[in-house]
Amino acid sequence: MSDRLNQTLPATMRALELHSYDSEADSLKLVEKALPRVGHGEVLVRIAAAPVNPSDLMFLRGLYVKKKLPVVAGFEGSGEVVASGGGLLANYLKGKRVACAAPVDGDGTWAEYMLAQANFCVPLLKQTDTEQAASLIVNPFTAWALLEKAGSARAAGVVQTAAASSLGRMIVRLAARRGVPLVNVVRRREQVELLQKEGAHHVLDSSEEDFDERLRELCTQLRVTVGFDAVAGELTGRLLGSMQAGGRVIVYGALSLEGCLIEPRAFIFEKKSVEGFWLSDWLRSQSLFGKITTSRKVQKLLGGELKTEIRERLPLERAREGLQHYLQQMTGGKIIFVPNLPNASSDSIRDTMEKMRNDER
């Protein structure tokens, strides 16, 4: 157990608080606010690292779930449980390193501390890297859950959009591990080359003239019956159109910022379907035993198939800079905020995270 648990907690903390959904640069402010009080079934997590995800960017613009403002941003992170509000699970987690998800209606992870529901925390294995664990829930769990859904549907093959994203590349590697044929859709030539270097066999550029024809050919050849769509817009309908009767597209994002455009005949005559996937709902549907079992399997793959590439580590003071960098190139690796090390260097951040991991041993 870390010596920090024997120290008095501060009365206040620094946090990145969103004050408006108007997309203005000063809507996200670094503030000093009172440390939250811990209730029954809750824990207080001292945040070690918190990533920026596409869902975070959409949230900041009011295009994802909307919370009552002002609210601290950030959907996931990792750190150490420094206080428990009581309850079997919450008390068990005290003193342990965890990956954590922000509550649906409360403050998030872009802060020095976060109040989390104990059942939305994942205890980390001793060998799990704290920095990799910061991105444990949103992408790795989604990749795992989507392929589990494809398996339950007995899909012989799968197609996915946004395949060059961090999550898309995880699906590429995990599908290869499981022997699932996968068609990968990207929107630029350099992304085709990126995925081919990672070993992807079937990569299509949606901007090419013969894209729809090649997509239909591959989906027929590989007997694709399930699609994962992170883009929405017209691409959802193009995926459905490429599949045989009974095809199914699971929409889990809307990077195009457009509604899904689908030909009615797909529903009426071809018995095709579209459904949504939200990780928070999936997590709530899992039993405690199921979540623990899945988390252990996922953590063992964080160094390989489910590894997150990290481009930059920044203190909260440099959040605006980090968000701008991520917007400019989302496929270049994650930006992570390190709230408790203001203005720290990358080397000192890594050293401190390594120390946190060793404290648990």
CB 293 within 8 A of CB 122: no
With tokens 């013969």, the residue in question is 210
Neighbours of 304 (CB within 10 A): 10
Point out which residues pair with 312 in neighbouring strands: 335
Torsion of CA 61, 63, 69, 75, to 10 degrees: -90
Q: Give, for 219, the enclosing helix (H) or strand (E).
A: helix 211-221
Q: How far is residue 360's CA from residue 116's CA, in Å, rounded to a whole number?
A: 20
pLDDT of 258: 93
354 vs 85: CA distance, rounded Å: 28
Identity of residue 233 = G
Do the beta carbons of residue 135 and residue 129 sit within 8 Å?
no
Q: What is the pLDDT of residue 7?
A: 58
Instruction: For residue 173, give both structure tokens.
Output: 């590697």
- Residue 146 is encoded by which pair of tokens? 């989507």
Strand pairing category for 121-123 and 224-229: unpaired
Residue whose tokens read 């019956």: 225
| Per-residue pLDDT tens digits for 48-59 | 999 999 999 999
Nearest Cα neighbor of 187 from 158, 221, 161 is 161
Query: Which residues of the chain have a pLDDT value below 70?
Result: 1-7, 341-361
Domain locations in the chain as residue ranges: 3-135+308-360, 139-280
- The pLDDT, as a whole number, for residue 288 is 83
Between the alpha carbon of residue 348 and those of residues 195, 345, 353, the distances in Å are 32, 5, 9
In sequence order, which ranges of 75-135 are alpha helices (DSSP H)? Answer: 88-93, 130-133
Predicted confidence at residue 330, as pLDDT, reads: 81
pLDDT at 3: 44
pLDDT for the residue 204: 97
- Give the pLDDT confidence of 131-179 residue by residue, as tens digits: 999 999 999 999 999 999 999 999 999 999 999 999 999 999 999 999 9
CB 81 within 8 Å of CB 95: yes
Q: Output the six-digit token pair for 17.
A: 């608080």
3-state secondary structure (DSSP) of residue 94: coil
Cβ-contact 220, 247 below 8 angstroms: no
CATH topology match: 3-135+308-360 vs 139-280: no
Q: Is residue 95 helix, strand or coil?
A: coil
Expressed in angstroms, the distance from the first to the final Cα of the chain is 8
CA atoms within 13 A on the CB side of 188: 7
pLDDT confidence of residue 6: 46
Which fold is adopted by the domain 3-135+308-360? Quinone Oxidoreductase; Chain A, domain 1 (3.90.180)
Per-residue buried b or exposed e for 160-190, using 16+ beta carbons within 10 Å of the residue's own CB: bbbbbbbbbbbbbbbbbeeebbbbbbbbeee
| Both tokens assigned to 246 | 């009974």
Per-residue pLDDT reduced to its tens digit, 85-95: 999 999 999 99
Check whether domain 139-280 has CATH 3.20.20.140, yes or no: no
